Chain A
């Protein structure tokens, strides 16, 4: 029974992600870069790491 519940939770997580994808779409793909785009600040690390423009320190 616990195994079924675990699978249900994992599938629920995936379904919620798919619903969010359906609702919001992909207006901006963070992994999409124009060919030859070497501006590293465009490729920000999540939570503000990487791109210096994300830091307010």
Chain B
């Protein structure tokens, strides 16, 4: 234990104690599958923190400097997930006796607008859906502000859901349904390979060199304290999302819970969100009326929060707090709010729509990727006014 900062050991123990408490509570009150979902969340939180696996910074690195290591790791993560998911979706879970569903959503105007807004806002807020969660939990003050306004934006997004969902849509397009699992794997892996080549080409053209092994390496690798190489993070995230699919019956998602938390708080202060169209849909109405802990997205988010808290204390960096000034505060407010709003329009964030959507063979995931990336290009320009 002498390798850890002694001052951070109590916080590490608190994180472990809280995790054990919630595991026991979920086991007593909700059952084994909630325990598994929470455990997977813990794994996601630790992986996200130790591998520093975020979309925002990686995209910005490519947009500004054509450095593609993070994007290449994300493509590898998607490739693993496409193979694992294609052979699972529609089949019986390994954990419970029932079929699993993918993250399939419509190809619609709301997805285009929402993903563009999200991509723009995440550059201001400084993190995407998963990134905001794990960095806020690991002690980043600015990201805590981003998270609070992410929740508010998600709630406002649910209020406007009727308008956005009434805009033109091509409906859901699932490659697994249109073709079959193996054809889907072939098509998506081919496209991911082309993307990998394209990003690599642009990096080598701009910087006159590219090191494809950079994602396998990190300075001072330590399995307990981190940091971990991007490749390890990519593989683990794909595997953990696969476990989530089998435990929850659907892939990993993050932002639905933010809207739900906002709706619960709004109810407490006297706003009857149950009258809003979104909260009368099948799953949202069930989630609103039930315990928040019955919602698997909330449970996995709690796991990510505590996983990141444990990881940051293992790394000895919980005490490294950054200061926040008025400009950064404003960036966090705007970024957080519009990420939440955009995520509701786009049926999820970089996790629920991009990662889980593409892994599930849903074309909306690719549309999300394209328009969020375009939004990020403008977001990187706007960011210069705040950072």
Interface positions of A (Cβ within 8 A of B): 2-3, 6-7, 9-11, 13-14, 17-18, 20-21, 23-33, 35-40, 42-57
Contact = CB atoms under 8 A, between A and B. Distances in A.
A39 B249 CA distance: 12
What 10 A-B pairs come out closest when comparing CB atoms? A46-B256, A21-B291, A50-B101, A43-B249, A44-B283, A57-B169, A33-B98, A47-B256, A45-B250, A31-B33
A33 B105 CA distance: 23
B298 A17 contact: yes
B281 interface: yes
Interface string B178-216: 000000000000000000000000000000000000000
Interface stretch (B23-31, B72-80, B118-126): B23-31
Contact of A25 (B103, B106, B290, B347): B290
Contact of A30 (B96, B251, B294, B348): B294
Contact of B283 (A23, A33, A38, A46): A46
Contact of A40 (B34, B99, B141): B99
A21 B293 CA distance: 6
Contacts, number: 173
Nearest to A47: B256
A44 B141 CA distance: 34
Contact of A44 (B90, B96, B282, B352): B282
Nearest to A9: B144
A33 B93 CA distance: 12
A10 B101 contact: no
Contacts of A45: 101-104, 250-251, 253, 283, 352
B58 interface: no
A5 to B, nearest CB: 10
Interface string B316-348: 001101000000000000000000000010011
A49 B293 contact: no
Interface in B244-298: 248-251, 253, 255-257, 259, 264, 281-284, 286-287, 289-298
A27 B289 contact: yes
Interface string B10-45: 010010001000100100011101100100000000
Contact of B347 (A17, A38, A43, A47): A47
Nearest to B157: A47
Contact of A49 (B98, B171, B250, B292): B250
25 contacts: A2-B139, A10-B305, A13-B302, A14-B302, A20-B292, A21-B294, A27-B289, A28-B290, A30-B286, A35-B97, A40-B100, A43-B249, A43-B250, A45-B101, A45-B102, A45-B251, A45-B352, A46-B253, A47-B256, A47-B283, A48-B105, A49-B253, A49-B352, A54-B281, A57-B169
A14 B22 contact: yes
Contacts of B302: 13-14, 17
Contact of B29 (A26, A31, A46, A51): A26
A53 B285 CA distance: 13
B30 to A, nearest CB: 6
Given A29-B31, A47-B347, A49-B250, A20 B295 contact: no
Contact of A11 (B18, B96, B101, B253): B18
